[in-house]
Structures are given as C-alpha cells and as structure tokens.
Structure 1
Amino acid sequence: MLQTESTAWVCSVPVATVWTAPEKVRPIDADGIAENPNINKWLQEMSRDDTQDLVDGNRIQTQLLYGEPVLIDEVVDGWAKIIALWQPCQKDERGYPGWVPMSQLQEVETLAELGYARVMHDKAQLWTEEFHPLTVVPFNTMLPIKGLGDFVRLQTPDGNALIMKDAVEIVATHNQSSQATGLDIAALGASFLDLPYLWAGMSSYGFDCSGFTYNLMKASGVIISRDAVDQAVEGTEIDQHDESSWHIGDLLFFAYEEGKGKLHHVGVYYGNGLMLHSPTPGKSVEIIELAGTKHEVELCAVRRFMEKEDHE
C-alpha cells in the first residue's frame, strides 16, 4: 500500500479522525468512521460523558483534513496505520501516527507545481467543474492548484474541483503564508469563539487546545508540532515571569503542580492579562482573564512564533 514517488495517499473526507487503535472505536462513533462521515451528527449525538471518554479512554489522537497527505505503514482489516506528514510530534520523526479507516483515504497524483489553495473561511463549498455542489471543507484545508481564474481549479481526492477565489489564500507550499503578526493570530483565533472543544480536534468542527494553536500557526505559514508538550520547546523562549515582555499572539503553556508537573494545556496571549484558548470537554473557545485562575499559577512557558506583534 506504500505510494510511489508520483502518487500520494491523502485524506478523502472533509475530516478524518485518527484513532489510537481500531479497537478504540465505540458504537456511538459510527458516523465518525463512515466512508462518508457526518462529523456534525457524531459530535451532536455524543453525551458529555461520551466526549470525556475520548480523553479518558485514550481513543483518538488527532484529525486529518481533506487532501492532507499521509504515509501508510500497514493495512489491517480495513484500517490503515498512518503517519500524518504535516503534523510533527515526538511520537514519530516522520509525523503524527495513528489509525484511520482505509475508506477515508485515497491515492492521488502528486501535484504541487502551482502551489496550494488554503481555505480561509470557517467552511467553504467545493464545486464540480460542472458547478454541482461537491463537498464542504473546513478551515485550513489545503489542496493543490491546477488553474487560476474567477474560481480556483483544484486537485482533490474526488477529482478536479472548483472553489471561490475569495474563500482561499494562494500559497507556494503547505507551510507558507502571508506574513502574519501576533495581532493577526489573536484576531483569527477570536473568530472561533464559542466553538465547542473536541479532544484531538483539528478542524473548525472542534479543536482541542493544541489543535487550536497548531491551526492558528498553520494559517500563518508556520508549522509547529501537533501537541502542546512539543510546542512548548519550539519558537523563541520569552520570560514567563515578565508579563510586560509578552506579545499578543505568544503561546502560553501550563503544567500541573503549579507549573512544575506534567504539561497539559496551551493558549494564546490576547494582551492585557487575557488568554484565548480551547479549554476542556464541555466548554468552548473563550477569552479569559488569567489573574485569579489556576492558569495563573500553572504557567510554565511562554513561546513566540510571530516576531512582530502588529503590522508596522
């Protein structure tokens, strides 16, 4: 099942959940692992206990977006053991590992000569070349370009497709974007206020804390690691004890035992003692004051990925 140099395996559904192992799937997850998954239905039908069990049961690892490339290590009973190539982590030097239904993957021709179109909106409609609705793809979906015009012509797992030009940003590579600032990061993040938290979430259907920060940076042309524990040693170290040195858009990291224990959370500094973050199951993306919260005493690192706080 390993691809040749001229082809690549990619995610063939708007959002594919990457599981820790096939046996971690529960009956209530059927809509999430279907050949044509219904992510909204899956999320809506889970109770609070069900969503918490995704965490406690170590069921899911991360998610893939439509067209995102993977390596396939092996296929067992309809499940592919994959590496998510665009999601760095300590678990595997090649990318993020896990299991995905083979029905949610597709082999496509390798194509990158004209760059990529990155979806800038919360969701965007893809159209067939005959202008029939094809599928809806989430924020940060990146697809190879085949032609430019009033609509951008794209290579997709479902063949050639069109997307409105104003819905996408044209970039040369998957890790390149217009030069963003810390304020851009904060403003983009605030556009997701009230989006429900989802453990391992990597899409505009739901983010976890580090999926949120990963995607804000990805949208700004900076690929950071997928998990908070890895993100906390990347970028530029900023003095965590000197709040006056923090920039809007810096990432704030938190650990148990008043910052001395296991790292467990990340958020975005929003200025004026505020943090923007995707907090925990049962809650949604929010802006909070750090003072007087557990986060104030659990802060363990501040890292900078955008050197400029504002446009000059």
Structure 2
Amino acid sequence: MKGIICKSIVPVWSEPSWRSEMVTQLLFGESYEIMDEKDGWLLVSGTADHYEGWINGGMSSLIDTSYYEKMISKDAFKVDEIVAKATNLKDNTTIHLVKGSLLPLLNEGIVDLGSNTFQFHGSYSAFPKQPDISKLESEALSYLNAPYLWGGRSPFGIDCSGFVQMVYRNCGINLPRDARQQVELGDIISFISETVKGDLAFFENTAGTIIHVGILLGDNKIIHASGSVRIDAIDHQGIFNRELGKYTHQLRIIKRLS
C-alpha cells in the first residue's frame, strides 16, 4: 500500500511515538510505501530514497496503484521558491510548501494528489531529464543560513546529509538519505587540489565513523550544514572555522558523483 504527503512537511520518527527521534522528513508531494502499522502509526519507506521511519497515521493520505503508476510515468516538477502556497480545492484552505516539494501530475497550476487536489501558487520547474551539475553551486547557496535541524530537509531546518540530498536532487541526482550511505557512491578524489565544484567531502569522528558531509565550492571552500548552512575553509586536514579559530571536522574522504 502506498501513500502521498498532502501536508507541508511530515516528520518521520525512529519509533511509533511523538517522543522518539525525528530521523527525516517527507515533503509535500513525496510518496512512500507503508510497511507496517502500530497503534495508529505507520512504518513507511520513502519512494525516492527507501529511508524507513514512522509517521503518524493522521498525516497519511493513501493512493491506489493506478494513480501511482500514472504519477511516475509523467514528468516531475518541484517547488523552486524557498516558500510557496497551495490551495486545497476541497476545503479552500491554504498550505505553505517549501523548496524541493514535489508537484505530481501538475497541469495548468493544478496538483493532483489522488483524493486531494491543490491549486499551486508560486514558481516551479521540471526536474532535469539528465543530471545538471552546473546548477549545484546555485542550488547549494539557496539554502545558505538555513538553521541546522537533525532530520530536517527544508530551508527552515536541515541537517548535513539532508542538505546534500536536496541540493543534488534538485539537480536531477537522487542520493541516499544519510552520509554513511552517500559515502559509498562515486569515485575517490585523492587531493584537495584535484577537486571541482560539487564534489562531496566526508568527515569522521575519532572512532573513524562518517558523521558529516558537505559540498565543495572550489578555492578551498565548502558549504555544509553545521549550526546553519554556512561556508567555511577546507584543507587536507578538514574544515577550519575562522570564527572559532580551529578545525571543527576531520576530513576522511572526497568523492565525485559525476
């Protein structure tokens, strides 16, 4: 059984409880598969990245197989503004959509989400049919100063791997959700001097576990989510925060996905 998000943002939890950890978010228009149910909570797996977690059943909207097959057969569109609006034509209420939200079956401003239909107000674009890495820098900079939020995927709260995932997705490249999954992709770049804009830098803790990721901008700069989405200096040792006057993240490996 599948569902689709008809809310602005739906938190996904580690356990079927409001008191558990938020591990990610699903944005408007994103679909998921329902894996299990417990006490009014649904264990779901995101269609795009297969990331699993629990959502409250009251935030779920079911879709049938015919709708899903129609949806994936059509061009996909995404919200380009930091925040846009959509009107639910069923009850004439308005919701706010964040950058990167999906607009399934968009036709002349109308978004069809199965049992719910919305009039979209804002700017949007189609996902590129081929990956367009030329837009990586501008996409990354559009999230600049977004506050850090563990599990977040929006300009109003985002974590390091969610930031990387959203920037790459907006350029037509789907990545896994977590840094420890993202590091498995791409080709190793041995030296900072050989990097190009859009390469991914991964960082480790003292135990050697990947705990952080950011996007290289060239000129020994990196944009990453740490406290907020920010630009810092990077060298072979790691990220150097000039405000603090020290290294904050130890470099483990650099990967190129193109």
TM-score, length-normalised on structure 1? 0.72
SS class of match (1:134): strand
- The 8 Å contact of residues 212 and 278 in structure 1, kept in 2 or not, is answered as yes
Deviations 1:20-79 (A, max 9, x none): 1124x23xxxxxxxxxxxxxxxxxxxxxxxxxxxxxxx7121111112111112211110
1:131 CA displacement: 11
Map of 2:201 onto structure 1: 252
The 5 Å alignment of 1:1-312 reads 3=1, 8-23=2-17, 25-26=18-19, 59-87=21-49, 95-108=50-63, 109-110=67-68, 111-112=70-71, 113-128=73-88, 134-148=94-108, 152-156=109-113, 159-164=116-121, 167-171=123-127, 176-177=128-129, 179-182=131-134, 184-239=135-190, 242-257=191-206, 261-279=208-226, 283-291=227-235, 292=240, 293-295=246-248, 298-305=250-257, 307=258
- The 8 Å contact of residues 12 and 67 in structure 1, kept in 2 or not, is answered as yes
Q: Which runs of 5+ in 2 are unaligned?
A: 241-245
Q: Give the Cα–Cα distance (whole angstroms) in 2 for the partners of residues 209 and 288 of structure 1.
A: 14
Q: Which has the higher strand share?
A: 2
Amino acid at match of 1:221: G
1:98 CA displacement: 1.0
Off by >4 Å, runs of 4+ in structure 1: 128-133, 176-179
Amino acid at match of 1:11: I
Amino acid at match of 1:101: N
Q: Between the two proteins, what is the percent identity of the paired residues? A: 24
- The 8 Å contact of residues 16 and 42 in structure 2, kept in 1 or not, is answered as no
- The 8 Å contact of residues 114 and 146 in structure 1, kept in 2 or not, is answered as no
1:141 CA displacement: 0.9
- What RMSD, in angstroms, separates the aligned Cα atoms of the two structures? 2.3
1:116 CA displacement: 2.0
TM-score, length-normalised on structure 2? 0.86
Shift in alpha-carbon separation, 1:252–1:146, aligned structure 2, 3 A:
closer
Q: Give the Cα–Cα distance (whole angstroms) in 2 for the partners of residues 233 and 128 of structure 1.
A: 41
Q: Which has the higher helix share?
A: 1
SS class of match (1:214): helix
Q: Which runs of 5+ in 1 are unaligned?
A: 27-57, 88-94, 308-312
